Structure formats: structure tokens, C-alpha cells
């Protein structure tokens, strides 16, 4: 009688019944797993984009570019749109200079002013270019409309 009761307790079906406690343990395991995945992807993202907030969309769309994290390139007049980034993303030119952007990616990019509408390119296909002459000194921040984590800056100095 007592032996039979003990055997019943030890059957696998009795051991693996889905208790609330086990449900919590599974839930904790899933949370731990997703945290580990998040930590891994942010470590990868952090290495490649220098601390910009990584996210799923950024991971899918490349690392972007941030002029505040790049040294200014004096006198550069050609900017590449490549690997979902502007390069160089931070340039300094004299007033009256024409800057040309070229899209090297298979997907479309734009050159669009943050404010003021100085830069308003169409969506550029692969190998298409967009040029703009900067007449007025100032700081011209811009981005790519489909990929707002692609950011750039043209600083225009007074001539001579």
C-alpha cells in the first residue's frame, strides 16, 4: 500500500507536471536568454558604431554615421553614401564650394537637411550623385530620410 503510493509519486508524469513554479523558472530562463542576446548584439553594435544606441533596425540597416564622433575633414568635396553611412560624415569647406554625394549602396539614400531645407536631394539610386553649392557660411547638418541614423555635417567657412 505505502510502496504503491511511493511508486505513483515517482512516475515521470507526476514529476513533469507543469506547475506554476516550473512556469516561472521557464519564464526566468527565457528572460535571461533574451538579455544575453541583447547584451551580445549591443556589444557587437558598440564595437562597430562607437557607442551609438544599437537597435534591431540599426542592426538591419547598418551602423549609420555621426559627425559628432568623427574628426572634420578639411576641404573634402566628395562624400560617399556607403554601407549605410556618410563618409566622410564631417567636412569643412569654404563658402562657394560645391559638394557632391555619391551613393555606392544598392539601396536608395538621400541628402536631407535637418533644418532649413538647404539640402533636399531626391532618393539616389546606386552610383547616382547629388551636388550642392554652399554659398552661405554656417553648419549644415543633414541625414538620410530612409535611414535617419545616417547623419552628416558640412561646415561652411567664410571665403578667404
Between strands 129-134 and 151-157, the pairing is unpaired
Kindly tell me the burial class for residue 92, based on how many C-beta atoms sit within 10 Å of its own C-beta (0-12, 13-18, 19 or more). Answer: middle
Interacting residues with Cu ion between 5 and 24 (CB under 5 A): none
Q: State the DSSP code for 126.
A: T
Q: Which is nearer to Cu ion, 138 or 148 (CB)?
A: 148
Residue 148: CB minimum distance to Cu ion, A:
9
Between strands 85-87 and 138-143, the pairing is unpaired
Q: Which is nearer to Cu ion, 99 or 144 (CB)?
A: 144
Residue 23: CB minimum distance to Cu ion, A:
44
Between strands 97-103 and 78-82, the pairing is parallel
Q: Does 151 bind Cu ion (CB under 5 A)?
A: no
Residue 39: CB minimum distance to Cu ion, A:
28
Q: Which is nearer to Cu ion, 109 or 151 (CB)?
A: 109
Stretch that binds Cu ion, among 63-71, 91-99, 128-136, 140-148 (CB under 5 A): 140-148
Stretch that binds Cu ion, among 5-13, 19-27, 67-75, 145-153 (CB under 5 A): 145-153
Angstrom distance (rounded) from CA 108 to CA 111: 11
* Alpha helix positions (H), 53-98: 56-61
Interacting residues with Cu ion between 73 and 132 (CB under 5 A): 109
The set of residues, in sequence order, having a beta carbon less than 8 Å from that of 123 and lying 6+ positions away, is 108, 109, 110, 145, 146
Among 63, 66, 67, 147, binds Cu ion (CB under 5 A): 147
Residue 64: CB minimum distance to Cu ion, A:
9
| Interface with Cu ion (CB under 5 A) | 109, 144, 146-147, 150
Amino acid at each position: 500500500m505505502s510502496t504503491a503510493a511511493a511508486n505513483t509519486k515517482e512516475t515521470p508524469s507526476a514529476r513533469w507536471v507543469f506547475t506554476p513554479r516550473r512556469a516561472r523558472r521557464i519564464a526566468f530562463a527565457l528572460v535571461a536568454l533574451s538579455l544575453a542576446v541583447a547584451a551580445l548584439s549591443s556589444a557587437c553594435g558598440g564595437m562597430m558604431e562607437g557607442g551609438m544606441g544599437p537597435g534591431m533596425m540599426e542592426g538591419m540597416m547598418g551602423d549609420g554615421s555621426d559627425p559628432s564622433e568623427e574628426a572634420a575633414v578639411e576641404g573634402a568635396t566628395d562624400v560617399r553614401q556607403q554601407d549605410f553611412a556618410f563618409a566622410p560624415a564631417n567636412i569643412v569647406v569654404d563658402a562657394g564650394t560645391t559638394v557632391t554625394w555619391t551613393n555606392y549602396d544598392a539601396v536608395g539614400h538621400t541628402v536631407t537637411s535637418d533644418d532649413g531645407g538647404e539640402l533636399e536631394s531626391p532618393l539616389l539610386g546606386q552610383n547616382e550623385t547629388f551636388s550642392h553649392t554652399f554659398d552661405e557660411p554656417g553648419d549644415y547638418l543633414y541625414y538620410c530620410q530612409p535611414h535617419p541614423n545616417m547623419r552628416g555635417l558640412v561646415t561652411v567657412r567664410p571665403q578667404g
